[in-house]
Structure 1
Amino acid sequence: MQEQIQRIQPDQADVLRTLRLQGLEDAPEAFGRRYEEIAARPNRYWAEHVQHYATSQDSATFVLYRNSKPVGMAGAYLEGGRRDHAYICNMWVDPAFRRGGAGARLVDTANRWLAEQGVERINAWVVESNAPALSFYENLGFVREEHKRLMPGNPEVEEVLMVFDTALL
């Protein structure tokens, strides 16, 4: 099985939309937004976002392809362009392709991109009740912090902050 991870391209709005909606269908509690809200966004929204994620120095989306089919994604961004506020977000892999290290390779790609932008500490907000996700990030070297928050867009869900030191790369 051939695998590639590439930064999303400016003409791949449909890829971004499809992966985002598949992730929300698969794990609606993990992403802070509702499927209906994201699905209702117009094509212009997706075109603008994919253009940004494909070219920005502060934000990127990486897509995992298996046999040329997009089956996963991970976002990386610098909040407000600040090197001290970097995040991994919207990490998702199709369930049929999990448990083979694909998610780890996606996060590693995003982490390395952030490190290339001068970031030393990478954050990830993870749903506190999602033990597999917490374990996944811990196995990648992320450390659970004491800091918690209610998930933006879904204040019934609590998230815990996970932190990665890019010196580990």
Structure 2
Amino acid sequence: MNPGIEGIVGMYVKLGELDTLERMKEHRQGLLDQCVDTEHFSFDVTRSIYRSDLDVIEAGIESLSGEITGHVDAFNENRIAGWALYDQRPDKRVRIDIYFNGDHVAEVVADQFRNDLLKLNKGDGHHAFVFVPPSGSFQPPLELEVRAANRKVLKAVTVE
């Protein structure tokens, strides 16, 4: 890990510099995207450092965004659906990670509009998500876990 990144991110978190952290994230992601191996050179170490930096930066961004509120409304072989939003930053969309039997199977963004969320004063109403499992993948027994921003478990259930 880049030892200085935690201090830099910590400083920006204390200052409430969410925009700066988001620009840092974009920059690191751009650098990571440029790490393409050649016949004579591997970027494995560099990619590892950039991914580690991105994890620290993302944690800083999430700490400034507040707690996550959400719910999984439906989970079956046809769809997994619900909603999620950051309490302090309802304009920032929440990433949803879906796991089957401990394996990461999908990442979706809670950015779809639902009128009921708007009526309940849940931000601008654009906080819903839907994931359609690939045919045959939702087979009992199944350990299903839906996480918001990879930190808050919205649903953890065993489907028999």
Tell me the TM-score normalised to structure 1 length.
Answer: 0.27
Say which structure is richer in helix. Answer: 1
TM superposition score normalised by structure 2: 0.28
